[in-house]
Amino acid sequence: MRLLVVGGSGFLGAGLVRQGAAAGHEVTATCHTRPGEAAGVAWAPLDVRRRADVEALVAAVRPAAVVNAAFRQRDWATTATGAAHVALAAGTTQGVLFTDDVRCPVHVADLAAALLELAAAGPPGVRHVAGADAVSRYELGLLVARRDGLDPDLLPAGRRADSGVPGPLDVRLDCAATQRLLRTRLRGARRFLDPGRP
């Protein structure tokens, strides 16, 4: 396998490089300042903060797999933005948001408050904690796009039933009994993703 290890000179990256080379894989590894010492590895300098450089390297190496191990403590541009650059350069398939895959998203603040409330005072038992709205993955994407000022017409739609992805299509959780026990309001996605709604 042709393997690209981004951040190959770091702690995790060095381990991946050594084991990948020992397993007989064709390994290319990147470093920011100086290459590692693993034998039989092609080293390439790379600053993951530069998207064009990441794209050029991935295009040149044409790996079967990319592992991003690049990390710099307290450096958002490397750890987060750089990770996005690697992911965008490595993504080779076009995805879709399923119109028939239904879930009940809940806002993380509502979920955390509800769980703490149940843990502190709620009676024992199994409780469902989910948002009030059942929405498809596609509808959720539309809500996020509108909230963030993106063009919702650019979102690709498809049916999960046609994709062969296993698992249930419609997972709605009835949280009415749990909601009666809570002061915390479990908002649905239509409410927490639309800033204009009360």
| Tens digits of residue pLDDT in 89-125 | 988 667 889 999 999 999 999 999 999 999 888 678 8
Can you give the C-alpha Rg of the chain in angstroms?
Answer: 22
Q: What pTM did the predictor assign?
A: 0.58
Q: Tell me the three-class secondary structure of the chain, residue by residue.
A: CEEEEECCCCHHHHHHHHHHHHCCCEEEEEECCCCCCCCCCEEEECCCCCHHHHHHHHHHHCCCEEEECCCCCCCHHHHHHHHHHHHHHHCCCCCCEECCCEECCCCHHHHHHHHHHHHHHCCCCCCCCCCCCCEEHHHHHHHHHHHCCCCHHHCCEECHHHCCCCCCCECCCCCHHHHHHCCCCCCCHHHHCCCCCC
The answer on pLDDT for 141 being more than 90 is yes
| Tens digits of residue pLDDT in 64-89 | 999 999 988 888 888 889 999 999 89
C-alpha torsion sign, points 75, 80, 84, 86:
positive
| Tens digits of residue pLDDT in 40-51 | 999 999 999 999
Share of the chain above pLDDT 70, in %: 97
Share of the chain above pLDDT 90, in %: 64
Average pLDDT across the chain, whole number: 90
CA distance 165 to 140: 19
